[in-house]
Chains A and B, each alone.
Chain A
């Protein structure tokens, strides 16, 4: 038909930008300086805050980003940078940082029980290991300070005997109605408000009282005898149970571990190298499900894009007819599903598709008993249907835009050449439409490949597959399967989840790269 002419270029591609024309005017210059001033002010605030909390990573990034931004917008040499810098900065913050962070986490065991740095984990273990001596007496205490300013515990035991710093006193004691010693001569009694700045000192007070343990207080009012149940040996990095003599050694699994396999909590974050990846590849329980879930994920993403695009395009074509009455009203109505938060729509759909009580079965189908979400195959269809509801307005919008960008003369040329409506669509409209929409279709595929929201809220991955070796449902995508594996056991395993996410990323990235390469050839053919 000889239609692959220069006319395929999109209208407006070379329209001069209004902003360029005005960039030299004084008003624009003032505007630019004001805007950059505001950004710099914000950056200084950010720098001070980062400095205050000692976060040098953020400090460095904000400093460099501000210098770069100032240079780019004040210099005349880097014209292209003016368009690229904001995008690149956002790319760094919202994408690259997260990718790097996730990739780094994939090589650690971070997760429940392994969230802390080792020194803090040890500190916590030792703090908790100091236990009250069973059946020991309780003391009423007050915190007092001597002439030299050191803190002491003024303790009254159940028999009414009073000690200061472990030394018995008998004279100069002031008692309250309960018999508790509240003050003693030679010392000043401190109230809670006086202690707020010296809390650590009070909490660290240990007054040896007999062989059982040391007197300590947690609230400044009641004292109890406590003794440590674990002893730390810094040289060997071991913890020894004082009573049983059991030795816990710091192990590479990020725990203090005894010979019998018992561990002390909390553990700490430890680098585990490729262990997480190895676990994904070697766990036999994952192998079978992985293949079937991968196929379904691929089918789900492909069919979602196909259906959404087909319906969106059909509606866009129908509403592209000039002179149609109420066209804008129809267009607005069609975009409505897009305006409702997707998780909300998903939940409403779940309710409507309920087999026994749902609107679809009860009202639309007059009391039918269709297992929309309870049958494996129908559930697959149902999530595709819900995803269609959620996704077609987007396709409708981009197709409407792309249709309007097809030059009118091409349509006329087709008419003059005597093309039928189908030929016109197949040979003119669709190819030109695909040039601009194909990259978006690839993006939509990548999006749906990981469409956690729809699956999580509509079916939760179900209906459940009782025979599967792991927790798995018929509509689970790879990403929701990862979620169930990493977070469905005894505790959340962020490191393991990151490793699996990274592997899915490789799959999606591969498919997207292939798709975009194909898109480019499309562009070359038709432009």
Chain B
């Protein structure tokens, strides 16, 4: 009996701790696998050197990439390895896991040399000392300014940009032959189609159980304002939250009216919106490049337009920039810098990367080559007025409350202005 008591209690503790540790538990295994000394579980391939006197452990350039990009990066890295006589290993991780694993591995001074990452991770990576600044030298002028701005933190550049992603308005040309002039035109057509039973979801603007500020943001900015005010140097100022300024409150009231008109629904999730759009049951959807392939495969005649303005000002989506970053704990910083700056940062390699993933390129010359593709041009036009997704740590405190406020307004849980103000107060308290 005594033993079973101990084990019962212990069982309770473990549950408690595993629950409390959330993301922590998952991160432990792959980070241990990141030591360059052996083929770890995460490693997809170890590229053998074809020409190289250097010992493996010393010349290992370890790259972390996600499943969609590791094959092409491996191919590119292999060429680099052959050319320079060094050894390269590409390890495959879930994209979302790369950030936390880099931090965890960094605590032990371990980890890869190079990772593929999103610019909005920088707040977390820089605060934890996990990434090192890079110098692009005279290459800076070859990249779109918004991409370099996004990958900069505290005045230093932390990555080589390669793709720019933002959301735009997806339109099924069979249901909506013309791009809507403004938000009201979109709403009228969408609601008319639902009334005529030609559509079930008027507008695929996903909400989900916690709200979805990322997808609602362009609509918010079209009323003026945004999440944070900017400092003189153009970076976001965490002490000036502006979601409850005049623009934010006008947006809140508009949300309530659209919910009443059944243009938007708090219950619409990504899955439901996507299903409806891809089966031709929805004329419009606000989403990003990740949804393009499925829609085209489903046979939808797709057009991509900038998001129409609801409040009169430009509807600026968040711009996310993906790039190659160098770990602060890289074992081979010189090789890593040479690879990222001088090898990846060329139009040929950038074009190769574009050809596999079709993500809008951040290098100007490559973008100019491919902008004849109407899909790329559509995202480009929508993103030209975009704002970089804030990468400051304070943003983590914003998502949940801001999303809840939007969802609660759509649910009709109270006065929209009051709900937005309450959320803003809670976020301010969290940021401190």
Asked if A490 and B400 sit within 8 Å, CB to CB, the answer is no
Q: Is there a chain A Cβ closer than 8 Å to B188's Cβ?
A: no
Q: Is there a chain B Cβ closer than 8 Å to A504's Cβ?
A: yes
- The answer, among A120, A356, A466, for a CB contact under 8 Å with B419, is A466
Chain A residue total in the interface (Cβ 8 A): 92
Contact A196:B59 (CB < 8 A) given known A120-B129, A471-B401? yes
Q: Render B96-131 as a binary contact track against A, CB cut-off 8 A, 1 for contact.
A: 000000010011010000000000000010111100
Asked if B9 and A513 sit within 8 Å, CB to CB, the answer is yes
Q: Render A280-301 as a binary contact track against B, CB cut-off 8 A, 1 for contact.
A: 0000010000000000000000
Within 8 A of B (CB), among A491-509: 491-492, 494, 497-498, 500-501, 504-505, 508-509
Q: Is there a chain B Cβ closer than 8 Å to A462's Cβ?
A: yes
Asked if B59 and A193 sit within 8 Å, CB to CB, the answer is yes
**Cα separation A488 to B23 with both chains bound (whole Å):** 13
- The answer, among A193, A202, A449, A491, for a CB contact under 8 Å with B127, is A491
Give the Cβ gap from A287 to chain B, nearest Cβ, in Å: 14
> Closest B-chain residue to A123, C-beta based?
B129
Asked if A124 and B337 sit within 8 Å, CB to CB, the answer is no
Asked if A265 and B334 sit within 8 Å, CB to CB, the answer is no
Asked if A446 and B342 sit within 8 Å, CB to CB, the answer is no
Asked if B8 and A439 sit within 8 Å, CB to CB, the answer is yes
Stretch of B65-73, B171-179, B291-299, B390-398 lying at the A interface: B390-398
Within 8 A of A (CB), among B380-432: 393-397, 400-401, 404-405, 407-408, 411, 413-414, 419, 422-423, 426, 429-432
Interface size on B, as a range, is 35 or more
Asked if B84 and A443 sit within 8 Å, CB to CB, the answer is no
- The answer, among A94, A357, A513, for a CB contact under 8 Å with B5, is A513
Stretch of B12-20, B40-48, B143-151, B161-169 lying at the A interface: B12-20
Contact A374:B266 (CB < 8 A) given known A98-B17, A116-B128, A489-B397? yes
- The answer, among B132, B265, B394, B401, for a CB contact under 8 Å with A356, is B265
Q: Which residues of A have CB within 8 Å of B21?
A: 497
Q: Which residues of B have CB within 8 Å of A138?
A: 137-138
Asked if A128 and B12 sit within 8 Å, CB to CB, the answer is no
Within 8 A of A (CB), among B1-45: 1, 4-17, 19-24
Within 8 A of B (CB), among A183-230: 191-193, 195-197, 199, 202-203, 218-222, 224
Asked if B103 and A199 sit within 8 Å, CB to CB, the answer is no
> Closest A-chain residue to B22, C-beta based?
A483
Q: Render A115-151 as a binary contact track against B, CB cut-off 8 A, 1 for contact.
A: 1100011001101100110000010000000000000
> Closest B-chain residue to A114, C-beta based?
B128
Contact A199:B209 (CB < 8 A) given known A471-B426, A490-B394, A491-B127? no
Contact A127:B132 (CB < 8 A) given known A113-B127, A450-B19? yes
Asked if B404 and A203 sit within 8 Å, CB to CB, the answer is no
Q: Which residues of A have CB within 8 Å of B52?
A: 193
Q: Is there a chain B Cβ closer than 8 Å to A437's Cβ?
A: no
Contact A350:B209 (CB < 8 A) given known A95-B13, A196-B332? yes
Q: Is the interface of B mostly helix, strand, loop or mixed?
A: helix
Q: Which residues of A have CB within 8 Å of B137?
A: 138, 222, 224
Give the Cβ gap from A203 to chain B, nearest Cβ, in Å: 6
Contact A446:B86 (CB < 8 A) given known A196-B59, A466-B414? no
> Closest B-chain residue to A479, C-beta based?
B19
Q: Is there a chain A Cβ closer than 8 Å to B182's Cβ?
A: no
- The answer, among B19, B86, B124, B135, for a CB contact under 8 Å with A112, is B124
**Cα separation A500 to B20 with both chains bound (whole Å):** 9
Q: Is there a chain B Cβ closer than 8 Å to A51's Cβ?
A: no
Q: Is there a chain B Cβ closer than 8 Å to A342's Cβ?
A: no
Q: Which residues of A have CB within 8 Å of B12?
A: 443, 446-447, 449-450, 505, 508-509, 512
Q: Is there a chain B Cβ closer than 8 Å to A469's Cβ?
A: yes
Q: Is there a chain A Cβ closer than 8 Å to B365's Cβ?
A: no
Q: Is there a chain A Cβ closer than 8 Å to B54's Cβ?
A: yes
Contact A490:B238 (CB < 8 A) given known A199-B332, A452-B19? yes
Asked if B404 and A192 sit within 8 Å, CB to CB, the answer is no
Stretch of B191-199, B228-236, B243-251, B267-275 lying at the A interface: B267-275
Give the Cβ gap from A365 to chain B, nearest Cβ, in Å: 15
Q: Which residues of A have CB within 8 Å of B127?
A: 112-113, 265-266, 491
Asked if A464 and B129 sit within 8 Å, CB to CB, the answer is no
Q: Is there a chain A Cβ closer than 8 Å to B348's Cβ?
A: no
Q: Is there a chain B Cβ closer than 8 Å to A381's Cβ?
A: no
Asked if B430 and A490 sit within 8 Å, CB to CB, the answer is yes
Asked if B22 and A193 sit within 8 Å, CB to CB, the answer is no
Asked if A128 and B8 sit within 8 Å, CB to CB, the answer is no
Q: Which residues of B have CB within 8 Å of A266?
A: 126-129
Asked if B20 and A192 sit within 8 Å, CB to CB, the answer is no
**Cα separation A13 to B394 with both chains bound (whole Å):** 60
- The answer, among B107, B124, B408, for a CB contact under 8 Å with A491, is B124
- The answer, among A98, A112, A467, for a CB contact under 8 Å with B422, is A467
> Closest B-chain residue to A99, C-beta based?
B13
- The answer, among A125, A220, A449, A467, for a CB contact under 8 Å with B338, is A220
Asked if B14 and A95 sit within 8 Å, CB to CB, the answer is yes
- The answer, among A120, A131, A354, A450, for a CB contact under 8 Å with B269, is A354
Contact A265:B126 (CB < 8 A) given known A138-B137, A374-B266, A490-B394? yes
Q: Which residues of A have CB within 8 Å of B24?
A: 494
Q: Is there a chain B Cβ closer than 8 Å to A484's Cβ?
A: yes
Asked if B19 and A483 sit within 8 Å, CB to CB, the answer is yes
Give the Cβ gap from B297 to chain A, nearest Cβ, in Å: 23
Asked if B109 and A120 sit within 8 Å, CB to CB, the answer is yes
Q: Which residues of A have CB within 8 Å of B303?
A: none
Q: Which residues of B have CB within 8 Å of A462?
A: 209-210, 404
- The answer, among A120, A219, A450, A483, for a CB contact under 8 Å with B342, is A219
**Cα separation A116 to B341 with both chains bound (whole Å):** 28
Asked if A357 and B272 sit within 8 Å, CB to CB, the answer is yes
Contact A115:B107 (CB < 8 A) given known A99-B17, A192-B85, A196-B58? yes
**Cα separation A222 to B426 with both chains bound (whole Å):** 48
**Cα separation A132 to B137 with both chains bound (whole Å):** 10
Give the Cβ gap from B191 to chain A, nearest Cβ, in Å: 16
Q: Which residues of B have CB within 8 Å of A428?
A: none
Within 8 A of B (CB), among A430-457: 439, 442-443, 446-447, 449-450, 452-453
Asked if A131 and B128 sit within 8 Å, CB to CB, the answer is no
Asked if B134 and A192 sit within 8 Å, CB to CB, the answer is no
> Closest A-chain residue to B7, C-beta based?
A91
Asked if A479 and B405 sit within 8 Å, CB to CB, the answer is no
- The answer, among A131, A464, A512, A523, for a CB contact under 8 Å with B8, is A512
Asked if B209 and A218 sit within 8 Å, CB to CB, the answer is no
Q: Is there a chain B Cβ closer than 8 Å to A22's Cβ?
A: no
Asked if A508 and B16 sit within 8 Å, CB to CB, the answer is yes
Contact A351:B394 (CB < 8 A) given known A116-B128, A138-B137, A192-B334? no
**Cα separation A443 to B12 with both chains bound (whole Å):** 7
Q: Render B336-349 as a binary contact track against A, CB cut-off 8 A, 1 for contact.
A: 01100110000000
Q: List 27 A-B contacts (CB under 8 A).
A: A96-B10, A113-B128, A115-B103, A120-B129, A131-B156, A191-B85, A196-B54, A199-B333, A218-B134, A219-B135, A219-B337, A219-B338, A221-B338, A351-B271, A439-B8, A447-B15, A452-B15, A462-B209, A464-B407, A466-B404, A466-B422, A469-B429, A471-B430, A490-B432, A494-B24, A505-B12, A516-B4
Considering the complex of A and B, which 5 residue pairs feature the smallest CB-CB distances, nearest first? A452-B19, A219-B337, A193-B85, A266-B129, A446-B12
> Apart from A193-B53, A265-B129, what 7 extra A-B contacts exist at CB < 8 Å?
A125-B129, A192-B84, A192-B334, A447-B11, A470-B426, A480-B19, A483-B22
Residues of A within 8 A of B (CB): 91, 94-96, 98-99, 102, 112-113, 115-116, 120-121, 124-125, 127-128, 131-132, 138, 191-193, 195-197, 199, 202-203, 218-222, 224, 265-266, 285, 350-351, 354-358, 373-374, 439, 442-443, 446-447, 449-450, 452-453, 459-460, 462-464, 466-467, 469-471, 479-480, 482-484, 486-492, 494, 497-498, 500-501, 504-505, 508-509, 512-513, 516, 520, 523
